Amino acid sequence: MTSDAVRRVQSGSPWEESFGFARAVAVGDRVLVGGTTSFKGSVLYGEGDPYEQAKVAFTGAIEALGEFGLGVGSVVRTRMYLSHQRDVDEVGRAHQELFASVRPVSTLLVVEGFVDPRILVEVEVEAFRGAEQS
């Protein structure tokens, strides 16, 4: 793959087809993973539990990176969107468990809501080929 080639992967989310987007896109040395929740198919994992939803969502995003041969060590940016400020500590704990050794830059926002009111957390990750840490 040349450095300016673009490659896309899908996760099977019903919204990808109806909205026209990919789960992750690689272009050159960058890999971007779009908003990921704790839905797997039609099942929401961790309903009512922001920590579990964050862990499942980040795991899904990391799995998308795996399609490009990358893992947690290549993550340089994370974004976390929460529907409730009360969940900051629990989502932060999940983030710390996954990324403490990597220390990506990070943004955390409290938003009005999500497409499904049971969703408490949505995450995004950006990775850089060559950033992989041992």
Give the start-end residues of each E strand in the chain.
6-9, 24-27, 30-36, 39-40, 43-44, 75-82, 105-110, 121-128
- Give dist(CA 121, CA 50) in Å, integer: 7
Least confident of 31-35, 41-45, 83-87, 91-95: 41-45
Dmax over CA atoms of the chain, in Å, equals 45
Task: Name the band, by pLDDT with cuts 50, 70 and 90, for residue 19.
Answer: confident
Q: Count CA atoms closer than 13 A to 82's CA, side-chain side.
A: 20
Compute the chain's Rg from CA coordinates.
14
Residue 133 CB neighbours (<10 A): 11
* Inter-residue contact 55 to 46 (CB < 8 Å): yes
Closest of 81, 68, 82 to residue 8, by C-alpha: 68
Q: For the chain, what is the mean pLDDT?
A: 91
State pTM to two decimals: 0.90
Identify the pLDDT of residue 14.
67
- The two tokens of residue 31 are 């890999």
Share of the chain above pLDDT 90, in %: 76
- Give dist(CA 43, CA 68) in Å, integer: 25
Task: Name the band, by pLDDT with cuts 50, 70 and 90, for residue 8.
Answer: confident
